[in-house]
Amino acid sequence: DAALVWFRRDLRHTDHAALYHALKNARRVWCAFVLDTDILDALPRQDRRVPFILDSLAELDTALGGLKHGAGLIVRHGSALKELPRLAAELGVQAVYANHDDDPAALARDAAVRGKLSDLGAALYTTKDCVIFERNEVLTGNDTPYGVFTPYKNAWLRKLDPFYVKPYPVSRHAEHLAAIPAKVAASPRVPALQDIGFEPCGELKVPAGMSGAEALLDDFLPRLDRYDKTRDFPGVKGPSYLSTHLRFGTVSIRHLAGLAWEHAQKGSRGAQVWLSELIWRDFYHQVLFHHPHVVGHAYKREYDRIKWRRGKEAEADFKAWCEGRTGYPLVDAAMRQINQTGYMHNRLRMVVASFLVKDLGIDWRRGEAYFAEQLLDFDLAANNGGWQWAASTGCDAQPYFRIFNPVSQSEKFDTQGKFIRRYVPELAALPDRALHAPWQARPAELPEGFVLGRDYPKPIVAHDEARAQTLERYAVVKTPT
């Protein structure tokens, strides 16, 4: 009769699977979010994601009140393992509804919460929400998970029908939302950043909440048809910038995939390619679900035999990579973008990942962890998938002998240096020809007074030499143990 909806990576009040099911099945429904100290305690105090979450929670609280007067979001701060069962007991609910989160740590947390709830006589019901197809929904003819993207994508597209992109009509049973008893919620309901031990991190570059997602989508839709042509150029406003919203569920994947599909069916090439990117997202989610060993290990296990560079010099190179001081302008611009904004363009994620692993010979897990700390859109499945793709250790990855050349990538995808000049202003006065590899410029091409090694670093590695070493390093995967 009474139920609680536990929000996690789904911070919206429309087209929400768990909320819909709870409202349909129970006559009194409360909504809650736990600021989980088991996750938050490990984050830097100026983590950008925390203000994004708090702003999104505030908007969700108001929106739930708009569905039914007196309703809203109960926010608790503490370990979810304790807080969630405690709240369920205080409210006397028999059922808790939540959407699937297939990260291994989240699955373990949910199993523990389920056990505690059952001790209280309550059940935890979970359901698909954050992808179009999850877990075992798209399998090969032999009922095994796909390890190669293109056949997965074809099977995904064959299975898609309007049912899977239909929104959950939450407002149909909104009258079942219950007013929040004063004793279970703090006031104000959503705490301030400082109240949970975090500090401001400057202006957020991605607008938060459902309204932020809507604004980005409105801005993107007129560009959708051109996405295929613009998506690879970091100096151009090509992609949607919706990844953070997909991560926190401030937009529904069904809504986005439905739009992409509709335009794709009308023949929009841009929409077809964008839909394909959304399918990559489902692909990596099912990879993580079926192969949780990818957290910390190569998908292709023999690649764990590779010996990565270690020691003082490698540490100094890693630091230079993190700080955008490698001497390769496109790599440095990209790393400064992630450091300053919490976002990095997809093409550049591939370039800098390849550079760390195949030019500097540093373990992909170090780069993965750095991205996990910096990215507003950090998503374990996509980040791990992207890193393992670039490092050639993953499923359907780049072959190990394909090594991005950071200079030709720069010439090809930032030809006029628009992106480089934005993030590496000390190179702004260099002519386009010299911008991509300043160490190769003739003295006459450099602005007066510009000294390489003083005003901008010399390259910390020679790409051609590194290439040869990488081929040697990866050769171990061919030798039997």
Is cis: bond before 222, omega within 30 of 0? no
Total residues belonging to the chain: 481
Candidates 41-49, 381-389, 409-417, 457-465 — which segment interacts with ligand FAD by CB under 6 A? 381-389
Which of these is catalytic: 25, 308, 426, 439? 308
Of residues 49 and 76, the one with the C-beta less far from ligand FAD: 49
Tell me whether residue 277 is annotated as binding.
yes
Of residues 219 and 455, the one with the C-beta less far from ligand FAD: 219
Of residues 333 and 427, the one with the C-beta less far from ligand FAD: 333
Candidates 131-139, 185-193, 243-251, 466-474 — which segment interacts with ligand FAD by CB under 6 A? 243-251
> How many other C-beta atoms lie within 10 A of the C-beta of residue 214?
14
Which of these is catalytic: 137, 214, 280, 439? 280
CB 344 within 8 A of CB 336: no
Interface with ligand FAD includes 164 (CB under 6 A)? no
> How many other C-beta atoms lie within 10 A of the C-beta of residue 407?
18
Residue 433: CB minimum distance to ligand FAD, A: 28
For 380-432, the DSSP string reads HHHHHHHHHHHTT-STTPPPTT----HHHHHHHHSTT-HHHHHH-GGGTTS-H
Report d(CA 318, CA 106) in Å as an integer: 30
Binder of ligand FAD out of 125, 308, 378, 439 (CB under 6 A): 378
Interface with ligand FAD includes 239 (CB under 6 A)? yes
Residue 274: CB minimum distance to ligand FAD, A: 6
Of residues 31 and 353, the one with the C-beta less far from ligand FAD: 353
Q: Which residues pair with 15 in a beta bridge?
A: none
CB 95 within 8 A of CB 55: no
Cα–Cα distances in Å, from 181 out to 23, 87, 96, 197, 275? 18, 12, 17, 26, 43
Binder of ligand FAD out of 102, 332, 379, 414 (CB under 6 A): 379
Report d(CA 384, CA 392) in Å as an integer: 12
Candidates 149-157, 347-355, 404-412, 452-460 — which segment interacts with ligand FAD by CB under 6 A? 347-355
Report d(CA 202, CA 436) in Å as an integer: 31
Tell me, by CB under 6 A, how many residues bind ligand FAD.
28
Q: Is 364 a catalytic residue?
A: yes
Binder of ligand FAD out of 21, 176, 231, 463 (CB under 6 A): 231
Q: Is 308 a catalytic residue?
A: yes
Site for ligand FAD in 385-414 (CB under 6 A): 385-387, 390
Mutual angle of helices 312-323 and 364-374, in 10-degree steps: 30
Residue, CB closest to ligand FAD: 386
Report d(CA 105, CA 245) in Å as an integer: 21
Binder of ligand FAD out of 3, 382, 430, 434 (CB under 6 A): 382
Of residues 348 and 435, the one with the C-beta less far from ligand FAD: 348
- Interaction mask 202-221, ligand FAD, x per CB under 6 A: --------------------
Binder of ligand FAD out of 346, 396, 411, 477 (CB under 6 A): 346
- Is 5 strand, coil or helix? strand
Report d(CA 383, CA 281) in Å as an integer: 10
Residue 188: CB minimum distance to ligand FAD, A: 31
Tell me whether residue 227 is annotated as binding.
yes
Q: Is 261 a catalytic residue?
A: no
Q: Which residues pair with 2 in a beta bridge?
A: 28
Cα–Cα distances in Å, from 330 out to 40, 279, 296? 33, 28, 28
Tell me whether residue 377 is annotated as binding.
yes
Interface with ligand FAD includes 337 (CB under 6 A)? no
Q: Is 346 a catalytic residue?
A: yes
The amino acid present at 54, given as its one-letter code, is L
Interface with ligand FAD includes 278 (CB under 6 A)? yes
E strands, 54-181, are 73-78, 95-99, 123-127
Which of these is catalytic: 137, 214, 277, 302? 277
Of residues 30 and 299, the one with the C-beta less far from ligand FAD: 299
Tell me whether residue 175 is annotated as binding.
no
Binder of ligand FAD out of 13, 21, 153, 281 (CB under 6 A): 281
Report d(CA 427, CA 23) in Å as an integer: 57
Residue 52's contacts (CB-CB under 8 Å, 6 or more residues apart) are 204, 206, 208, 244, 248, 376
CB 398 within 8 A of CB 389: yes
Residue 351: CB minimum distance to ligand FAD, A: 9
Candidates 15-23, 275-283, 308-316, 471-479 — which segment interacts with ligand FAD by CB under 6 A? 275-283
Which of these is catalytic: 261, 321, 364, 389? 364
- Contact positions toward ligand FAD, by CB under 6 A? 231, 239-243, 246-247, 277-278, 280-281, 284, 346, 349-350, 353, 371, 375, 377-379, 382-383, 385-387, 390
For the annotated catalytic residues, the residue numbers are 277, 280, 308, 346, 364, 387
Residue numbers belonging to the annotated binding site = 227, 274, 277-284, 377-379
